[in-house]
Structure 1
Amino acid sequence: MDAVMRTRSLWFIMAIPVIMGLAPCIIGCSLWMTGSKTPVLGETAEVKTPRLVGDLAVPYGLHSIVVEAIGLVTGLNGTGSDPLPSPERQFLLAEMQRRGVQNPNTVLASKNTSLVLVRGYLRPGIQKGDVFDVEVRVPSRSETTSLRGGFLLEVPLREMMILRGAVREGHILAKASGPVLVDPSADPEKDPVYATRGRILGGGVAERSRTLGLLLKPEHHSVANAARIESAINRRFYIVQRGLQEGVARAKTNEYVELKLHPRYKNNIPRYVAVVRAIPLRDNEQIRLQRLRELESELLNPATASQAALELEALGGPAVDVLKKGLTASSPVVRFHAAEALAYLDCPEAAPVLGQIARDEPAFRVYALAALSALNDLESVEILRELLKSPSAETRYGAFRALVELNPNDAAVAGEKLGDQFWYHVVRTEGPPMVHVTKNRRAEVVLFGDNIRLKGPFAVEAGNRIMVTSQEPGKVTVSRFAVNEADQKRFVSDSLDEIIRAVVELGGTYPDVVQMLQEARVAGALEARFEVDAVPEAGRRYEEKDAPNESDVAPSTVADHDVSDDDSSGTGG
């Protein structure tokens, strides 16, 4: 089991699920966290109402683990500082000496370097080699004025804390390095806090895998109960390894059952755990038929549809016909929950309903797109491609992420790694032109439209060393200026695609490109909508018109966040 570890978010951490490896992520919070609860049955319950796995056990491993480090950012343009005496400075000096760095005090004293505090969060179910975002900030008494243009040298990430004036550390759980993305609009004089903190997208790499599991409630600790849970789960879920079927559950002790992640739920781990907890401990034909009749009635009631669909999903194949009845219900709530469950049961009939809901119902959009990304069939792919034309930025980008999850080589969304710095995609679509960048999980630029241009005249920066200027219509100059280097220039057209490629060719990083795009938008040069992290949000509540109060429901796997309306117009960033 994972050790239980201790858990300040940056300016651009958003309360969103990511539909990517959408997180990966990943999507929302499980039903057991939001008030929809599995009924707890007494010892004298009738046989035809079986007890569920969730009656005996609670989830383990759904918290994020905090990993930290003290590191060094280099490449600053005179905005760094010599760190003041502190335990952190002592720790960094010792680490530099251990690595054989010559004259470490001289390195730290340079105005082009800065000591930084590094933090990352290992998400539930993360596997060795998976990447995650890293937060970087300067200590509270630091004289560093900006981290823009900086690069974090590789550091090991561990549990860390300061005890009795010294830094204490645990085992290495991950490593981190990469270019620091700072808010391009942050002015070091007006916004010193924002200018001295940043983020490295995908800059952390897990060194160990995290397991999921179930902890038996104290009153149910026994080898027999652990074995019952293992058996019930393995009847429903298995994975194939080396050609052999293997159950996902394994009773490790009389109080802990370890879970392997089923690949169908890789982008929605909370739902996976919720479904596992809804699996009946006892199952025979009589019990199953009675339960299907009860759940059918509950599924068709908007007030109980969410939990009913989850329990039907837990029953697997025998529940498909009942769930299909929900697809034609008059209530969008019922249709959504039925389609969501069917998608995770690999039923293509769910795709049209999920596509319509993703397009028209903001409250359910994030979950509909996540379900479509789990439903790998031709119809769901075509529906997602159609959503790329939507006027809603979050629907377009959400559909893009779902398609990338299904097949990153899909011709509609395939991209390339520019300069080994970030993912770059040009999506040829009939919708309005849009440029999308991310500040979470994956360094990525997406152009929706293949003829987006920058209208001159303009002069914008791409980091500390690159300028992009236009004095004549249709002509752009990309210039690199650096100390002790010959000036370099590239002459291109006003095509945004050509400009981005020229910036990267001259050594520009992802943060440099994002800064250029944001400055171009502010200058009015970007002839397209500009969006940052336009992903569907969790936490929106759905109120069905002309329905009783009980249908004022929260979608499945939704956390309580502020309600946000659809975004079919406007500019982000």
Structure 2
Amino acid sequence: MRSVRSSRVSLAVALSVGAMWTGCMGPILRQQSPELPEEESKAELTLVGNATQPYGLTYVKVEAVALVTGLAGTGEDPPPSPQRASLLAEMNRREVPNPNNILASPNTGLVLVRGLLRPGIRAGDHFDLEVRTPSRSGTTSLRGGRLLETRLTETAVLGDQLRKGHLLGMAQGPILVDPTADADEDQVLVRKGRVLGGGVANKARNLGLVLNSEHQSIRLSQMIGKSVSKRFFSYVDGQQRGMATPKTDEFVELDIHPRYKDNVGRYMRVVRSIALNETPSQLQTRLGLLKTQLLDPVTAATAAIRLEAIGDDQAKQALLEGIHYDDPEVRFYAAEALAYLDVTEAVEPLAKVVRDEPAFRVNALAALSAMDDGAAYDALRSLLSVKSAETRYGAFRAMTAMTPNDTLLVGESMNGKFRFHKLDLSGDPLIHVTSSHHPEIVFFSLEHKFKLPLVLDAGPNILVNGLSGAQIKVSNFGSTTQQRVVSTDVEEVIRAIVELGGDYPDVVQMLEQAKQNGALTSRFRVNALPEIGRERIKRDRESTGTEAEEDSTHNFDIETPEPELFSRK
């Protein structure tokens, strides 16, 4: 009798443990595919995500109080405050002579600096900075200013004092103020700006998996590391090295696989969809279930991710069937997963999505950029000449992520201030400048001209004057007046501004004014990045031959993570 009771207790414990391990997966599948309860119950097993939580996927905010110089009399002597005390302490630490006199100058200003360290950032990687004046500051404009080198830390105000954490980055560079902002009418806009790529990370942010408290053990940690490294690995000096390293009974460290360097969120979702100790029969059962779920728009995104996590020929075949299905969401999610598996058949449907469907454009471009496939490169290059500005620049950025040393894309460093790219392409002439990621000017086609007459500002000291004839005079009215006389060619004017000491924000301001005044004959766009969450376009474009231009409507939530490649943070 006792042995029977003991057996029943053991069975109950075993069933409860089994439910604990499979419960996270089972209910999700049952809610999304209620028509498959029997098949699903047979396919239940533990995925990495059932026993772990992701670590390192949040952005870390770093801040500083810093000094801006180069203002054209728009600064102030900051009043006593914790921020002023912090800045003076930093200036004294750097042994800056007469710090109070420097702060009193109308050409300097105290600013607050903020940056976000993205998941998986490595030491030496650059990131954007937001710069603004304090709320009660008398500084009226940051245009023309340059952020002096400052240290970035996690910061909090405690007891009327600024408390700083560990040093996480350094920051400096020219401040890009919204070039459309008017100093008199847009006082809020001219008191803030960005330093593109001005932050440099001091240390890497590691990714990892934290085992749930009820699952923590050396054995399970090692099992997870082995399963992940079997699916994701790289070669170092000819030796295969897995992407997962068990560190303790509760933490597994993850290296980012190169294919996912610009889509860390997707990488983590795929890793957490890897099965633990799956038998061949379980795999076959699960593949059958996932094939069915892939063809349902409600479950297609999750099914595609899980097929991508399996990653074998059978999973690829299931996804290949998905790209021919009649539902556009199913086709997209299947093609996206195939791209991260580097399957050539993903290229054509993804390129079509980029052209025709703004809702999926961000993810489709990122997926194409992750491929090591000549067909993907050719597809992206063909998109450089389409009508849509965001498609053209999106394809350009995707190509630079795919092949950064391509002679078509590498561009020229303009005295280390920004990169200048000229693309010999067909299509409407387009000039694109960035306000995030890094300072960059891209010419789509080689010929771009100014239309006279024109008078344009390029920062506080440089004037571009083309009132008569076919020449433009570029003058720097600094401590000494310097001039260059050039033609109406836009490239020549840009080079003259840089030669006279102008910086990236000065060039952007000049181009924006030229656009507003009708002096720029080419199209001009600032940060024409594809965006997540666009409205789905449901009409048939093949019958009209038209192309989807960018649309500001946001009402469709894509089910896969937004890639960092097009982030505006």
Give the match's secondary structure for 1:314.
Answer: helix
1:317–1:345 CA contact under 8 A, matched in 2? no
One-letter amino acid of the counterpart of residue 336, structure 2:
E
Task: Give me the whole-angstrom Cα distance separating, in 1, the residues matched to 2:94 and 2:444.
Answer: 45
One-letter amino acid of the counterpart of residue 86, structure 1:
S
Offset at residue 412 of structure 1 (A): 3.2
Query: Residues 343-492 of structure 1 correspond to what in structure 2 (within 5 A)?
Result: 343-483=339-479, 485=480, 487-492=481-486
Match 1:537 to one of 509, 531, 539: 531
Q: Deviation per CA, 1:31-79, whole angstroms, max 9, x where unpaired?
A: xxxxx96779x9xx96643221111112111110011111111111111
One-letter amino acid of the counterpart of residue 62, structure 1:
L
2:534–2:556 CA contact under 8 A, matched in 1? no
Query: Residues 56-455 of structure 1 correspond to what in structure 2 (within 5 A)?
Result: 56-318=51-313, 319-455=315-451
Offset at residue 325 of structure 1 (A): 1.4
Give the match's secondary structure for 1:157.
Answer: strand
Question: TM-score, with normalisation over the residues of structure 1?
Answer: 0.86
Percent of paired sites with the same residue: 50
Task: Give me the whole-angstrom Cα distance separating, in 1, the residues matched to 2:311 and 2:123.
Answer: 30
Give the match's secondary structure for 1:66.
Answer: strand
Task: Give me the whole-angstrom Cα distance separating, in 2, the residues matched to 1:339 and 1:495.
Answer: 43
- Cα 1:473–1:325 shift into 2, 3 Å: farther
2:263–2:561 CA contact under 8 A, matched in 1? no
1:84–1:141 CA contact under 8 A, matched in 2? no
1:538–1:558 CA contact under 8 A, matched in 2? no
Task: Give me the whole-angstrom Cα distance separating, in 1, the residues matched to 2:345 and 2:239.
Answer: 29
2:429–2:448 CA contact under 8 A, matched in 1? yes
Give the match's secondary structure for 1:349.
Answer: helix
Q: Deviation per CA, 1:2-30, whole angstroms, max 9, x where unpaired?
A: xxxxxxxxxxxxxxxxxxxxxxxxxxxxx
**Which shifted more, 168-177 or 275-284?**
275-284
Aligned to 2:5: none
One-letter amino acid of the counterpart of residue 382, structure 2:
E
Task: Give me the whole-angstrom Cα distance separating, in 2, the residues matched to 1:256 and 1:207.
Answer: 23
2:358–2:537 CA contact under 8 A, matched in 1? no
Offset at residue 226 of structure 1 (A): 2.1
Q: Deviation per CA, 1:393-436, whole angstroms, max 9, x where unpaired?
A: 11111101111111123243331111210111112211111111
Task: Give me the whole-angstrom Cα distance separating, in 1, the residues matched to 2:407 and 2:469.
Answer: 33
Task: Give me the whole-angstrom Cα distance separating, in 1, the residues matched to 2:433 and 2:514.
Answer: 14
Q: Deviation per CA, 1:57-107, whole angstroms, max 9, x where unpaired?
A: 121111100111111111111111111011111111121112111111111
Task: Give me the whole-angstrom Cα distance separating, in 1, the residues matched to 2:357 and 2:537.
Answer: 11
1:275–1:310 CA contact under 8 A, matched in 2? yes
Aligned to 2:8: none
Task: Give me the whole-angstrom Cα distance separating, in 2, the residues matched to 1:553 and 1:56.
Answer: 31
Aligned to 1:555: 558
**Which shifted more, 399-408 or 286-295?**
286-295
**Which shifted more, 226-235 or 69-78?**
226-235
- Cα 1:174–1:378 shift into 2, 3 Å: same
Task: Give me the whole-angstrom Cα distance separating, in 1, the residues matched to 2:266 and 2:69.
Answer: 42
Aligned length: 515
Give the match's secondary structure for 2:112.
Answer: strand
Determine which structure has more spread, i.e. the larger CA radius of gyration.
2
Offset at residue 108 of structure 1 (A): 0.8
Aligned to 1:31: none
Q: Deviation per CA, 1:452-495, whole angstroms, max 9, x where unpaired?
A: 11101010000011111112243111111113x2x111111111
Task: Give me the whole-angstrom Cα distance separating, in 1, the residues matched to 2:469 and 2:278.
Answer: 73
One-letter amino acid of the counterpart of residue 371, structure 2:
L
1:541–1:555 CA contact under 8 A, matched in 2? no
Q: What runs of 5+ residues in structure 2 fail to find an aligned partner?
A: 1-26, 32-36, 541-554, 563-569
- Cα 1:253–1:332 shift into 2, 3 Å: same
Give the match's secondary structure for 2:344.
Answer: coil
Question: TM-score, with normalisation over the residues of structure 2?
Answer: 0.87
CA RMSD of aligned residues (A): 2.1
